[in-house]
Amino acid sequence: MISAHARQGVTIIELIVSIGIITILFGVSTPLLRTFLLRSDLDVAQNSIVQDTYRSQSLAMSGEGDSSWGVKILSGQVTVFRGTSYVTRNTGFDESYALSSSIAISGQSEYVFSKLTGFPTPIGTTTLTNAANETRSLTINSKGMIEEQ
């Protein structure tokens, strides 16, 4: 007869149960982590666009460079620019910031703020969508205020 103190090690059943529990935990947590990361990318993109939009409006209102300033929102990037449009801008003053490539941009993608008044042209809504089909909308009104939804 083997004493209780002589038995050491792990049985195959204990090993299988442990591996099963770890597999179940991993299987449950992976989709939750993915959803969290996608939502986080969406929140970061929204905050970055809002911040850069207010920055371009602030530059226009202060008369920086005696010019209008704008913001261009592209997939994977947002650019604060100097000039009356993104196409005719002075690229030497561009400030570009990366956005997650998993974020799709739709709706209005360019806003230009008038020198000194800071009023935007055009007004409109920009919609951000992540791979989980969650959306955030940013609406800029005629006074340049941003409503986040």
Average pLDDT value for residue range 93-112: 93
* pTM greater than 0.95 (yes/no): no
136 — alpha (psi -120 to 50), left (phi > 0) or beta?
beta
* Total residue count of the chain as it appears in this document: 149
Q: Which CATH number fits domain 12-148: 2.40.50.180, 3.55.40.10, 3.40.50.720, 3.40.50.410?
A: 3.55.40.10
Q: Domain extents for the chain?
A: 12-148
Q: What is the DSSP letter of 116?
A: T
Q: In what order do the strands lie in the sheet with 120-121?
A: 95-98, 77-82, 69-74, 110-113, 120-121
pLDDT single digits (tens) 33-90 = 888 888 989 999 999 999 999 999 999 999 999 999 999 999 889 999 999 999 999 8
